[in-house]
Structure 1
Amino acid sequence: MTDAATLAFVVPRGVDDPARVSGGSVFDRRLADALVARGRPVRVVEVGATPAALADVFDDIPDGAPVLIDGLVARAGPDVLERHAGRVRTAVLAHMVTAAFADAAEHEISAERRAFRSASTVIATSDWTQRRLIDDEGVRRERVVVVAPGTDPAPVSLGTPDGAALLCVGTVAPHKGQDVLVEALRGVGTDHPWHCTIVGSVEGSPPFVAHVRTRARRAGIEDRLSFAGVLDRAHLERAYRRADLVVAPSRVESYGMAIAEALRRGIPVVASDVGGIPQAVGVGGAALLVPPDRPDLLGRALGAWLTDPGLRERLTNRARSTRRERPTWSEAAARVDAIVAGLS
């Protein structure tokens, strides 16, 4: 039972499962920890994405208590949120807008819209997500606030002398665009001794993973790619420390936590100019942005990075000089804490 002073933070089951790490799960866990560090009582409630499971959780929350719920769970039970809207104070954390995905089912889009509209507040993770919530989901502007993901303090990346260590972080899935990356690297060729490490779950979309591997093999660059799978925090930190460049070839992206983490470490970025990525990049001039789903242009940017020492030096210096300007998890938690305090 959650008391009226405790924030019930409702998250998808398996939020701490190392085999299912995603940007959303990292956000949920880091935010919960940072709220507790600020002194906010938090009870993290893991729940399966079904109406019955969500109903059990809300039935256990006392009148007037604050609730923060992950959007993935909220869309599973819009009836529940609507039924309890006048009894508890609910904020929905919108990591992404389902309608942004080309293959999204209409019933999922509709359910998510109802969940968002029934909340007292919707927390968006980027300005882009906020615009989508207002323009496409019909959420009133005054009910949507932006809280960008934070970053952890981290040392500067060591990198390599020739800029050859490329890193791509994100679950291996169509919206993350690793197939675009492989095609771009095929165009770069093998004259330069580059190597790309792809970090992220390969369990969510096996056919796509197989497709990416097949394209790499046919392109003759299979030995230049490493699929590292999900890494724990220590091993992920090691991957960042060895990287010269982080590549984010996403087709859809609400923010780009891996981009922010890279820049926090002084690592430049080549990424798609899509969604919330420009906000994650910021104004430091430490990134090259290309249109999404354009392997030719992505390959051109990667080729320039690998062959132009002056470009590498400029981008790296800019990343290192602005790395401390990235938002922290403490700052993100402070904003969410204020939102929770003001829920009505």
Structure 2
Amino acid sequence: MPAPIVFLASADYARRTGGYVYNMHLLEALKRQGARIDMLMLETGFPTVSQAERRWLLEALRGLPEDTVLLTDHIYLCDLAEVFAALPLPVVSIFHHSLVEEQGDPSDDRALMLRQAEGQAIARSAGLLVTSDETGRYVARHYGASADKVRVAVPGNRIVPRVAVGTRPAPLSILSVGAIIPRKRYDYMLAVATHLKDLDWRWHIAGDPERYPEHAAALKAQADAAGLADRFVFLGDVADDDLEDLFQSSDLYVATSAYEGYGMAVAEAFRHGMPVVTTASGAVSTWAAGGMLAAPADDAAGMADLIRPLLSDRARLQALADRAWRFGKTLPSWEETFDGIGEWLAKPS
């Protein structure tokens, strides 16, 4: 009989994020493969777990059978180091991307603290599930994670209808998806948009503005000051059905992230047959192929120069869409992504 698996998460984990989607598909795959899974849910995990919940969690974990495998995001392991140091349970961490890249300047004091916490979390992990080959190289390079500890499982994809790129009346529609956080660099994206004001387009940004509300408010003010408030539109958090409608009504996907552990929204654009213009940020540049233009990360005018011909020439836009559609069909399904994951997860026990 396989060892029981306990999945640790928190009720405030943002639902419309790549990490949440990935984790839910992982749990579904494990259940299909016959795994026994129990949930252990903290009330609050962000920005940190309270002392009361730390005490509750320690007691809950002490009551688990010795052969239990604990599965959780590495962010919890970073925050709860003292809890896990007191327990012998094997832990498998899901490493979506580094907190150092998410939250810190790589050279500042906070980044050094996060680097130390991540190192301790990875050392404590019996297994490490990462979302791209590049992320696997990252944990090996920065934390010395051995290859026998790491499993790469790139995010899977749904079967979706192809987008009818460039076939609707003007204006053309640009789409970007992701929480309104500094790492996504919407300020840079807006700077790119200012170099395209003479063309007819609408740019929609779908993403949660509540994680950094002051940052989101500053971006809206920046769009207003640039005279783009009615063309560069922050839609806020968008429900799944509405997001699919947005994909189906868009012609071009643009991303400007400083770093991505994989880039699930970019993959989703490819799967829809939508051409992509993106900065070469982290893992994206290592796997994205047909249907993409790699843009400069620090030259807004240069990035605009890549986008301009696509907005000006529908034949060129549609040719890139054809390449995106062909490449998108090569991306794995969720079933392929997590094939055999239950057997691998049982090994740390």
TM-score, length of structure 2 as denominator length: 0.89
SS of the equivalent of 2:61 reads helix
C-alpha deviation, 1:53, in angstroms: 5.0
1:126 and 2:132 matched: yes
Q: Which amino acid aligns with 2:222?
A: R
Q: Could you tell me how far apart the structure 1 residues matched to 2:31 and 2:205 are?
A: 33
User: In the alignment, which residue of structure 1 is the partner of 2:61?
Assistant: 58
Instruction: Work out whether 1:76 is the aligned partner of 2:79.
Output: yes
**In the aligned structure 2, how far is the partner of 1:57 from the partner of 1:331?**
34
2:36 matches 1:38: no
Any stretches of 5+ residues in structure 2 without a counterpart? none
In structure 2, give the amino acid aligned to 1:108.
L
1:197 corresponding residue in structure 2: 204
SS of the equivalent of 1:68 reads strand
Q: Is the 8 A contact 2:3 2:67 kept in 1?
A: no
CA 144–294 in structure 1, closer or farther in 2 if over 3 Å, else same = farther
Q: 1:136 aligns with which of 136, 142, 154?
A: 142
Q: Distance in 1 between matches of 2:261 and 2:244?
A: 23
| Match 2:8 to one of 2, 7, 10 | 10
AA of the residue aligned to 1:92: S
- Percent identical pairs in the alignment equals 26
1:68-119 alpha-carbon deviations (Å, 9 max, x no partner): 11111111112333333xx323210001112224344433332221011111
| Contact 1:121 1:343 (C-alpha < 8 Å) held by counterparts | yes
Paired residue for 1:320, among 318, 321, 325? 325
Q: CA deviation at 1:54?
A: 4.1
Number of corresponding residues: 334
Per the alignment, residue 239 of structure 1 pairs with: 246
After TM superposition, list the pairs within 5 Å mapping 1:112-123 onto structure 2. Answer: 112-123=118-129
Task: Give runs of aligned pairs for residues 1-344 of structure 1, distance below 5 A.
Answer: 5-15=3-13, 18=15, 21-47=16-42, 48-49=44-45, 50=49, 51-84=54-87, 87-101=88-102, 102-103=104-105, 104-161=110-167, 164-189=172-197, 191-281=198-288, 283=289, 285-344=290-349
Change (3 A) 1:308 1:96: same
Q: Distance in 2 between matches of 1:158 and 1:314?
A: 12
- Give the match's secondary structure for 1:202: coil
Distance 2:189 2:4 in 1: 44
| Deviation sequence 1:242-267 (CA, Å, 0-9, x none) | 11111111012111110111111111
Q: Deviations over 1:129-153 (max 9, x none)?
A: 1122111123223322211111111
* Cα separation, partners in 2 of 1:289 and 1:60, compared to 1, 3 Å: farther
Residues 188, 299 of structure 1: 8 Å contact kept: yes
Structure 1: runs of 5 or more not aligned: none
Contact 2:171/2:200 (8 A) holds in 1: no
Q: 2-side partners of 1:122 and 1:46: how far apart?
A: 21
Q: Distance in 1 between matches of 2:270 and 2:56?
A: 39
Deviations 1:192-211 (A, max 9, x none): 22111100100011121122
Shift of 1:45: 2.5
CA separation in 2, counterparts of 1:118 and 1:127? 21
Distance 1:135 1:244, change over 3 A: same
